[in-house]
Chains A and B, each alone.
Chain A
């Protein structure tokens, strides 16, 4: 029996070898794609590219509410953020990258991934030439965009345009590249944009992928920045390095402005598609607000970071929605400051303080029938950027008033949202504070008397954590192209064209009285960009390239109302502290003023510091570990 068993088993063993072990065991993995497979198929390549698009970085974005609302354009009604207004620093929040990493600005890992993508696409032979060209152009667009981001932060950085690989020899010096000149990085961006623009689609409908319009808008912005650094760099001579890593020769300014104008004109001329200003609503404030959340056939928007419900959502509205009627127990964080609100000009193109009657520091308060009346007759962008007291959001009137003025002139107020008190001569308690505040030091209420409207999503559910919003973040839009053209024309001495471009943007804001060429000044250029692009993440770089930071944030507190309301509209108007404007309701039964409104300027008790722009802010500190790893990198000035 045993013998039989052995015999059978031996026999089985003998016949059970396979003929080709190699082929049997060496199988392609079913859960992984090899590089050859990835770069053989458009759809798979697009998903690789999607990853690269998703890692696009910027300092100011709606993904981080603080990052677009610094520089005292707003007060942060968030108890963790008051510290920003209590020291001599300039309130600035820096947006995080997708891994929530604040310190990852020197992100050459991203550059390497893009370089690798470009190399693989160049070598790919299984895709059509058309899609190869487009992918390649998109990769180069992202690389140029990121070098633009780096040069804005650090000045000249090493230009690495191929993947570098360490050979494990123990000597990494061949991988250490010195910093390029600041102008060389800008030149690179401009050259790339010129080379790729014809390879990208001229499609107005394409917003989240690179288009010809996006490449030209980037070129125009980059050249404008380079031109102004060259021109205004002389104001801060210590902000430069002898090797040109920081600072651009003033003789190059005109050349850069010419490029900025040429690129802007290409978009304006329509060669990149029919971009136009957004004009869909008759109410100009509403129109301006809608420009930012209207994703259907929006002709103004050129390039965005897009969001989609359930996949990639945004909580900006949740963080900043009016606290009264908010969809979560929070909101109202960004409180635009009176400094910003008063800078929106009147319809006759003049600047004036918000007429409280006490704007000069004394006088009798002016009485208004309705809360909104005090803001009447101004730039429509005010109401589109800021939620004013008495205006509406999601069909609900915003309830902002700081207290009730009783007949003897005293103010009765409360310390809770919608607090009730019994007023003199009455028996029933009545509301003495708005449900949206303002209450000094009470987070999420409109402590400055204002909320932000720009980028807030009016769709139900946008303020819920579980739903959030799919409003996009606009990186380039047509109005910027127009203002780039205006600024470049102005700097090149052509005020007629400058006025022409600027008036288009102003007309959309209801400022129908055209500016004459003689009225175009540096102050006008600065003001127009501030009013148009408030809370869009551009102002920080504008202040840097014009080298006006140390003038605006000079470290001296704004200690009186008359100081606050003087010099409005000047490029170097000081803005060291955010101020507030508080509405009060008049209680005077039996008199005509009963139920009407008065206003008062106020400095919040938490605002104790005065911002000071140190020269070190013009260029970021290059991290020490970067310099340790590569001794060829030289430090930025004033660090």
Chain B
């Protein structure tokens, strides 16, 4: 009886509730089709939906592997990066739209956003040698000329979990930009410290800090068993 009474009392009013957004907008931040890796939760894409009076952004964080996603209502959206966000320059498509990507969302859709990173990984090989993680990377300088920026440092990070960055790591090795002789062959290695509870693998990746750019460029996260 009591249960029944409770049930009656706790029936919700269906009409009060709006349906939840169901349309999935996904995509990658790419350079020539290659996703650009970044640090977790440091770079974001702003989604603006005009036409509803007061505007506010819908923020879609860019994941470590350069992907983003947002659950939205169908409609017309403008996608932009906040100024100076990410290790790249945005591409201005035309004078009117500047670097905005216009998306007309009708059902699930995948939209890749092309950017011009300052640098890009040509190759990144990460291997274990005993309790040491060795990385060999080759970098391509994409932006040259007046907008070119130097490399401040290249860093190898290892982490217990798949979140690998400056803030989340158990070991790191820096190589300052001045010490890089050959951009096609940069070698870094870092020793794995003892981990509690013990695990026989770590996650690793290489980051590039570009002088004067806040966000770092990262290679793909790799699980390394030793």
* Nearest A residue to B53, CB-CB: A628
A639 touches B214 (CB 8 A): no
A625 touches B54 (CB 8 A): yes
B212 touches A237 (CB 8 A): yes
Q: Does A638 contact B (CB under 8 A)?
A: yes
- On chain A, the residues within 8 Å of B42 by CB distance are 88, 614
Asked, given contacts A556-B172, A624-B55, whether A238 binds B84 with beta carbons under 8 Å apart, the answer is yes
Q: Does A612 contact B (CB under 8 A)?
A: yes
How many angstroms between the C-alpha atoms of A87 and B165 in the bound complex? 12
A638 touches B54 (CB 8 A): no
A residues 590-630 near B (Cβ < 8 Å) are 609-610, 612, 614-615, 624-625, 627-629
- On chain B, the residues within 8 Å of A629 by CB distance are 54
B residues 55-84 near A (Cβ < 8 Å) are 55-57, 82-84
A624 touches B54 (CB 8 A): yes
- On chain B, the residues within 8 Å of A609 by CB distance are 167
Q: Does A390 contact B (CB under 8 A)?
A: no
- On chain A, the residues within 8 Å of B214 by CB distance are 238, 550, 614-615, 638
| Closest beta carbon of chain B to A522's beta carbon, Å | 21
How many angstroms between the C-alpha atoms of A574 and B212 in the bound complex? 19
Tell me what chain B mostly uses at the interface: helix, strand, loop, or mixed. loop
- On chain A, the residues within 8 Å of B167 by CB distance are 87-88, 555, 557, 609-610, 612
Interface band, chain B: 10 to 19
Interface band, chain A: 20 to 34
* Nearest A residue to B174, CB-CB: A556
* Nearest A residue to B155, CB-CB: A556
How many angstroms between the C-alpha atoms of A627 and B29 in the bound complex? 28
How many angstroms between the C-alpha atoms of A460 and B82 in the bound complex? 53
* Nearest A residue to B54, CB-CB: A628
| Closest beta carbon of chain B to A303's beta carbon, Å | 37
- On chain A, the residues within 8 Å of B172 by CB distance are 556
How many angstroms between the C-alpha atoms of A237 and B84 in the bound complex? 11
- Interface-centre pick from A237, A238, A609, A635 (highest chain B CB count, 10 A): A238
B residues 147-180 near A (Cβ < 8 Å) are 165-167, 169, 172
A638 touches B166 (CB 8 A): no
- On chain B, the residues within 8 Å of A627 by CB distance are 55
How many angstroms between the C-alpha atoms of A556 and B171 in the bound complex? 10
How many angstroms between the C-alpha atoms of A87 and B166 in the bound complex? 11
Question: Interface code A77-121, partner B: CB below 8 Å = 1, 0 otherwise?
Answer: 000000000011000000000000000000000000000000000
Asked, given contacts A237-B212, A625-B54, A628-B54, whether A555 binds B83 with beta carbons under 8 Å apart, the answer is no
- Interface-centre pick from B84, B85, B212 (highest chain A CB count, 10 A): B84
B56 touches A638 (CB 8 A): no
How many angstroms between the C-alpha atoms of A88 and B57 in the bound complex? 23
Q: Does A637 contact B (CB under 8 A)?
A: yes
| Closest beta carbon of chain A to B49's beta carbon, Å | 13
- On chain B, the residues within 8 Å of A88 by CB distance are 41-42, 166-167
| Closest beta carbon of chain A to B168's beta carbon, Å | 8
Asked, given contacts A624-B55, A628-B54, A638-B214, whether A612 binds B82 with beta carbons under 8 Å apart, the answer is no
* Cβ-defined partner of A637 (8 Å) among B53, B54, B56, B83: B83
A639 touches B166 (CB 8 A): no
- On chain B, the residues within 8 Å of A555 by CB distance are 165-167
B57 touches A624 (CB 8 A): yes
How many angstroms between the C-alpha atoms of A318 and B42 in the bound complex? 37
Question: Interface code A237-252, partner B: CB below 8 Å = 1, 0 otherwise?
Answer: 1100000000000000
A638 touches B82 (CB 8 A): yes
* Nearest B residue to A624, CB-CB: B56
- On chain A, the residues within 8 Å of B82 by CB distance are 638-639
Could you list 23 A-B pairs, sorted by A, with CB under 8 Å? A87-B167, A88-B42, A237-B212, A238-B84, A238-B212, A555-B167, A557-B169, A609-B167, A610-B167, A612-B166, A614-B42, A614-B214, A615-B84, A615-B214, A624-B54, A624-B55, A625-B54, A627-B55, A628-B55, A628-B56, A637-B83, A637-B84, A639-B82
Query: What residues of chain A have their CB less than 8 Å away from a CB belonging to chain B?
Result: 87-88, 237-238, 550, 554-557, 609-610, 612, 614-615, 624-625, 627-629, 635, 637-639
- Please give 19 more A-B residue pairs, beta carbons under 8 A apart, in addition to A88-B41, A238-B84: A87-B167, A88-B42, A88-B167, A237-B212, A238-B214, A555-B165, A555-B166, A610-B167, A612-B166, A614-B42, A615-B84, A624-B54, A625-B56, A627-B55, A628-B53, A637-B83, A638-B82, A638-B84, A639-B83
- State the 3 A-B residue pairs at the shortest beta-carbon distance, nearest first: A88-B167, A555-B166, A624-B56
